[in-house]
């Protein structure tokens, strides 16, 4: 899962891209990058947060009326600094000139590699999107038709999830164009303002840079925008869309809309349904900050049990997307404080979005116990995560899940509750989650393998059987 942004207009776009990157920082904290183009390529990218990578004016203000940017969340398992730098995006080629940023995961890289003589510069799967488009455009006149034809070739070759942005230029007519996978697993939206157009991962970007929302880009579509502001769109493959359920549960910010649905309202509705599915006699509802706040609000409203702030968060980093277990533990240990005045002597309903590895919840329960709580009842706004994601979420091995034992068997909820020292544990049901979102979703990690799109089930079953852990095996089946 990453954050992407692309802007084309009639004035320099660099600072708009820069500000837009801050709005999608939550989607990736491993690295950040930005490329603008004015006949020359101006690119800065590095490991770290947006504020750290773009720490000089010369990096923020680069020339060009077209640009793309990226915040990377690594699903590669490569956590050393050199790997993070090497795999930072945007990526580009010079013959023909083509630059790209990508959100998603391609899992048939080995198959795609057989179709090109070009060598990838890195192990990152964006290379196969970039190289395949480049092969199609090589020595051809750059037009709307040739771009659409190139995207059509890609969409029939690659397997996985992708919302990808490209810049291409033949010398005097640059284009910004995008391609979405047929199931629209990863989000992409279009906005506009005063001669500019913007394609990005979340609608909240438009609020930051004062753009107007235009539309969600449909699955299986290519959209091309030229320097004069002409927009061309074609749906190459039409299938029922299955957006990633984890966008609604965790990744997207509450002030965004994904496929027309308010993330804030979805999470509040999940909390309401969670209260109906798993009621409990308690004194107080406590959200895990900030991830559990909307769920707890819905739970409180439906149950009539008072909500209060019993936990304070001191750090802005997101523990789930940290690269190592050591980093995750550090974020939790250093980032939370517990209010004895709120928790002491109380029967507490602790509400959060999800449990993946159990890093957070164990330490939070321990902190609440030490603050004097009599009972702790955990309620979770996502069904138990039981299978790896092969479409862009950093869950590669079944052994990582709290909901599975060391032999790979799915645990009973009561056993998980004992393991984390809670008095009870309740997860939202799959049907409850789907109904709260309002349409069908990709749910392979909670309903394996039938929760994946039908055409992917055989592939992911093979991956699951091998329990892939390394980047090349995982991303390049």
Q: 29-67 as b/e, with b when 16 or more CB fall inside 10 Å? A: bbbbbbbbbbeebbbbbbbbbbeebbeeeebeebebbbb
Please indicate whether residue 2 is annotated as part of the active site.
yes
Compute the half-sphere exposure of residue 376: CA atoms within 13 Å on the CB side of its CA: 29
Query: Exactly one of 2, 244, 442, 476 is catalytic; which is it?
Result: 2
Cα–Cα distance measured from residue 107 to residue 468, given in angstroms and rounded to the nearest whole number? 11
Provide the pairing of β-strand 196-200 with 257-258.
Answer: unpaired
Read off φ and ψ for residue 230, nearest 5 degrees: -80, 135
- With a CB cutoff of 8 Å and minimum separation 6, the contacts of 458 are none
The three state secondary structure string of 413-470 is HHHHHHHCCCCEEEECCHHHHHHHHCCCCECCCCCCCCCCCHHHHHHHHHHHHHCCCC
Residue for token pair 């927009």: 231
Q: Are 264 and 367 in contact (CB under 8 A)?
A: no
Compute the half-sphere exposure of residue 427: CA atoms within 13 Å on the CB side of its CA: 21
Provide the pairing of β-strand 347-352 with 284-287.
Answer: parallel
Residues annotated as part of the active site: 2
């Amino acid at each position: 899962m990453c954050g992407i942004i692309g802007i084309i207009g009639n004035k320099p776009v660099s600072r708009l891209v820069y500000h837009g990157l801050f709005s999608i920082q939550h989607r990736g904290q491993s690295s950040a990058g930005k490329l603008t183009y004015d006949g020359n390529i101006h690119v800065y990218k590095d490991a770290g947060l947006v504020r750290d990578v773009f720490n000089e004016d010369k990096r923020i203000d680069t020339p060009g009326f077209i640009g793309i940017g990226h915040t990377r969340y690594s699903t590669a398992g490569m956590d050393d600094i050199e790997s993070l730098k090497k795999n930072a995006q945007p990526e580009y080629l010079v013959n023909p000139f083509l630059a790209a940023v990508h959100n998603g995961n391609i899992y048939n890289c080995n198959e795609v590699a057989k179709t090109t003589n070009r060598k990838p510069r890195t192990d990152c799967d964006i290379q196969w999107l970039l190289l395949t488009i480049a092969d199609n455009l090589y020595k051809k006149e750059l037009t709307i038709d040739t771009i659409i034809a190139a995207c059509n070739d890609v969409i029939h070759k690659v397997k996985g999830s992708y919302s990808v942005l490209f810049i291409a230029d033949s010398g005097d007519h640059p284009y910004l164009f995008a391609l979405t996978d047929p199931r629209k697993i990863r989000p992409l939206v279009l906005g506009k303002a005063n001669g500019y157009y913007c394609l990005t991962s979340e609608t909240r970007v438009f609020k930051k840079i004062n753009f107007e929302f235009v539309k969600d880009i449909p699955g299986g579509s290519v959209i091309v925008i030229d320097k004069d502001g002409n927009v061309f769109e074609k749906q190459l493959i039409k299938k029922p869309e299955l957006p990633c359920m984890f966008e609604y549960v965790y990744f997207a910010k509450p002030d965004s809309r994904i496929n027309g649905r308010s993330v804030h309202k979805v999470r509040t509705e999940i909390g309401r349904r969670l209260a109906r599915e798993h009621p409990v006699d308690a004194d107080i509802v406590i959200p895990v900050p900030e991830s559990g706040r909307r769920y707890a609000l819905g739970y409180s409203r439906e149950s009539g049990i008072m909500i209060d702030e019993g936990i304070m968060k001191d750090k802005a980093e997101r523990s789930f997307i940290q690269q190592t277990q050591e980093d995750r533990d550090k974020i939790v240990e250093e980032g939370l404080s517990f209010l004895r005045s709120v928790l002491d002597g109380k029967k507490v309903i602790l509400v959060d979005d999800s449990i993946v590895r159990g890093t957070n919840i164990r330490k939070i329960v321990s902190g609440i116990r030490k603050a004097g709580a009599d009972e702790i009842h955990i309620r979770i706004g996502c069904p138990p995560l039981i299978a790896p994601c092969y479409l862009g979420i950093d869950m590669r091995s079944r052994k990582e899940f709290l909901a599975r034992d060391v032999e790979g068997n799915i645990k009973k909820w009561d056993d998980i509750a004992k393991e984390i020292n809670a008095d009870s544990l309740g997860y939202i049901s799959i049907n409850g989650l789907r109904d709260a979102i309002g349409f069908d979703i990709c749910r392979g990690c909670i309903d394996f393998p039938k929760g994946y799109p039908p055409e992917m089930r055989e592939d992911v079953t093979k991956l699951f059987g091998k329990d892939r852990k390394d980047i090349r095996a995982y991303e390049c089946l």
